[in-house]
Amino acid sequence: MENASARNLWGDFLDAYLEFASEDAPKVIHFCDNEKDANLCADLICKETKRATTYSLKGIQLRNEALPKIGDFYVVTDWSGDAKCIIRTTAVKLLPYFSIREEHARLEGEGDKSLDHWKKVHWDYYTRELSELGTKPTESMIVVFEQFEMLYKK
C-alpha cells in the first residue's frame, strides 16, 4: 500500500481487530470524480449514512477492473488521499439502470436520498465516466450495486 495514511489506518484497524490480520491489504479508494463529492461521500460513509454505491458495469469492464465481491475491504480516503475509514462489502447485485428503486437511493445516502436525486447525479456521472471511455450510458445498461458496512474510522 503506497498511501501512508491508508497504511496507518489499516494497521490501526488490524491492531483493533486481530481476526482480520491474515487479510490481504485492501484497495485504497475515493468515491466520485471530483473533490467536493469525494470528500462528501467519505464523510457520509464515516457517519454511516452512505452504505452503498453503484458503478457502471461497462466502465468496470473497459478499465479491466475486477467486480467487487462480498468480503472485500477498502480504505476510503478523501480526494487528497487522507484515509478516513475502512469498509467491507456485504452485498453485490447486477441490475439494469432502469430498475434502481428508492431503497437503493436511500442506501446510497446522498443528497435528499430520493430516487430523482440518485438518477440525476448518477446519470451525470456515468455520462462523464463513459464518454472518457468512448461510449455513453443507456437506461438498460447494467449497474453494479454494492452495499458495504463501515468497520473502522479515525
Q: From CA 68, how far away is CA 123, in angstroms rounded?
A: 21
Amino acid at 16: A
pLDDT digit string (tens) for 24-73?
Answer: 999 999 999 999 999 999 999 999 999 999 999 999 999 999 999 999 99
**Residue 111 domain boundaries:** 4-153
Q: Give pTM, 2 decimals.
A: 0.94
CATH of the domain at 126: 3.10.400.10
- Amino acid 31: pLDDT: 96
Cell triple for residue 143? 449497474
Number of helices and strands (H, E) in the chain? 5, 5
